[in-house]
Structures are given as C-alpha cells and as structure tokens.
Amino acid sequence: MQDFYWFILVTLSNGLILLVLAINVSRLRIKNQIGRGDGGNVDLIKAISAHANGTEQVPIFSLIILSLEFTTATNALLAFLVVTFTVSRLSHAYGMLYKTPILVRIGAGTTYATQAIAIISLMINLNA
C-alpha cells in the first residue's frame, strides 16, 4: 500500500498557504468594511489576487502529484517537485502582497516550470 506522503505534504503545505491568504483577504475586508468586490482598495486587490492565483495553481498540481504517486515516480523527483512548487507559491504570494515584481516573476516562472516537469514526468511514468 502506498503512503501518499508527497500528495499529503503538497496538500498540507499549500493548503496552509491558501488558508493564510484567505484569512488575509477576510481581515482586509473587515478592516476596510468591504463586503463584496475589492472596493478599489489596493491592499485588498493584491490580497485577492494572491489568493486567487494560488487557488488556480494548487489543485491541479496536487492532482498531478497524486497521479505521480500512482506511477513509478521516485521519491527524489516527488520531493523536488513538491518543495520547489511550494517555495515558488510562497515567493509568488509574497511578491504579490508586498509589491516585489521580481518575486512574482520568479514564483510564477518556477510554478510553471515545476508543473511542466511534473506533467512530462507523469507522461513518461505512465508509459513505463
């Protein structure tokens, strides 16, 4: 029986990141009394964008990791993908929230690269 360690780790770590980002959105909504939308508030716009981007990227990557766990993927590959992806998501979120464009670019680029490597690995392992 497989233990699904890397799937659990990617879900746990990125779920925590998304929870913190969601709480930040709620905090800013309460602080600025904005129930819907962004009210034109720059901090809220950044917070919503950071959270939304994570919700776009994390689910599919988590499913790819789960799929890789069903194949012959090595622990080294899974570790590299999960750690790199998680660090890239932290970099992207930090860059979005604190107006650090280089971190946004690094985070986004690394996210895409990690997803591409994971997808290619899945295709290779599927045929193995």
- Find all residues with CB under 8 Å of 67, minimum gap 6, and list them: 122
Name the packing angle between helices 5-32 and 42-69 (round to 10°). 170
Higher local confidence (pLDDT), 128 or 43: 43
pLDDT above 60: residue 105: yes
Average pLDDT over residues 106-118: 98
- Total domain count for the chain? 1
Model pLDDT, residue 1:
43
Cβ distance 104 to 96 under 8 Å? yes
Average pLDDT over residues 4-19: 97
**CATH code at position 41:** 1.20.120.550
Q: Which of 46, 45, 67 is nearest to 115 (CA)?
A: 67
- Tokens of residue 30, six digits: 């309460």
22 is in which domain, residue-wise?
Answer: 5-127
> Coil, strand or helix: which one is 115?
helix
Model pLDDT, residue 2:
65
CB neighbourhood size of 67 (10 A): 17
pLDDT (tens digit per residue) in 32-84: 999 999 999 999 999 999 999 999 999 999 999 999 999 989 999 999 999 99
pLDDT (tens digit per residue) in 86-104: 999 999 999 999 989 999 9
Model pLDDT, residue 72:
84
